[in-house]
Amino acid sequence: METTSEEVPEEITILAKEPNMVAHSYDSYSINGINFHTHSYDVGRSVQCSGVALVAHATSFDGTNNNNPVSMSKTYYGVIKDILELNYHHQGKIVLFKCDWIDNRVRDKWVKIDKFGVTMVNFKHLFNTGDKELDEPFIFASQATQVYYVQDPIDADWFAVLKSKQRDMYDMEERLDNSTEIGSFLPDLDANTQVNVSIGGSCVRTDIDGIMIAENQPSK
């Protein structure tokens, strides 16, 4: 057997091992400043965080000229049904989203763009839900783009697709243009997280006289 001195990256070595037999399931997961929820966890909540979109890129060849590759992209829309974490012997982990995907195999049928340029989807027609052996319902959490769906007030079977914003990003320019928008960009804070505040130096005004404030005395 021919040997090589090139070392295999540690990440590849870890992923080549079978994951632990027990996979952890979660109702929510945060990645890239975005909080994702399962669809069941979203029920009854004022914020919708279970919608996802995935842009898949593929290369095909022109039928008349196999030397002319054509790059194509297709967007998939769905909702998260489960969030799974696979642990590779406590050395690495992968988080997967199991989703119900809206059938987009026929153009402009169950995923379409209306006359106003808004993408509309129909949840009554799904595929790759995991019910069949050949279904592929899973994506990496890192691949997901968060979207949310607004029901059409005229046709209840159809929903408009809107893209969510990262909650830890603050768009100053847009904020100035729309001063009536209420803080949708504030980050979620973990109450158990320790926050260290470092204050260096002191700030003293020298242009006005100081005011002495007597210390409060305890009441008798």
- Mean pLDDT, residues 50-54 taken together: 96
- Which pLDDT value is given to residue 57? 84
- Which pLDDT value is given to residue 203? 41
Least confident of 26-40, 163-177, 197-211: 197-211
Give the model confidence (pLDDT) of 164-178 as tens digits: 876 555 544 444 343
Least confident of 63-67, 202-206, 213-217: 202-206
* Sequence ranges of the domains in the chain: 10-177
- Per-residue confidence band for 5, with pLDDT thresholds at 50, 70 and 90: low
Closest alpha carbon to 28 in 41, 16, 43, 12: 41
- Which pLDDT value is given to residue 120? 97
Share of the chain above pLDDT 70, in %: 68
Q: What is the DSSP string of the chain?
A: -----PPPPHHHHHHHSPPPSPPEEESEEEETTEEEE-HHHHTT-SS---EEEEEEEEEEEETTEEEEEEEEEEEEEEEEEEEEEEESTTS-EEEEEEEEEE--SSTTTSEEE-TTS-EEEETTSEE-SSSSTT---EEEGGG-EEEEEEE-SS-TTEEEEEEPPPTT---HHHHHH-TT---TTPPP--TT--------S-----SS-----PPPPPP-
Mean pLDDT of the chain: 76
The model's pTM is: 0.67
Which has the higher per-residue pLDDT, 33 or 146? 146
- Which pLDDT value is given to residue 93? 84
- Per-residue confidence band for 85, with pLDDT thresholds at 50, 70 and 90: very high
- Which pLDDT value is given to residue 180? 29
Strand partners, 42: none
